[in-house]
Amino acid sequence: MKKKFILEGLDCANCAAKIEREINGLNGVSSASINLMTTKLIIEGEDEEMSDIIETAEKIVNKYEPEVIFKRA
């Protein structure tokens, strides 16, 4: 399953790299990528794990960038 999100307000390339790396390390994630120009986050992972992945991904984003708004695309 593939899910897309907008990380509104993300403007730090270093933070984006850290977020991407940490999300890629989650159980059930096959790939996660952030496009800093479009501020899109794409997560591919197992269907049955996706709700937990999304919840944890949002926490990871808030850890590095508390001002960023995590929205479904």
Domains of the chain: 2-72 (3.30.70.100)
What distance in Å separates the CA atoms of residue 2 and residue 62, rounded to the nearest whole number? 21
pTM for this model (two decimals): 0.94
Average pLDDT of the chain is 97
What distance in Å separates the CA atoms of residue 34 and residue 19, rounded to the nearest whole number? 8
pLDDT band for 60, please (50, 70, 90 cuts).
Answer: very high
Query: Are the CB atoms for 32 and 57 separated by under 8 Å?
Result: yes
**pLDDT attached to residue 43:** 98
**pLDDT attached to residue 59:** 98
Q: pLDDT tens digit string along 29-52?
A: 999 999 999 999 999 999 999 999
- CB neighbours of residue 35 within 10 Å: 12
Residue 28 has phi, psi (to 5 degrees) of: 90, -10
Which stretches of 25-73 are DSSP H helices? 50-64
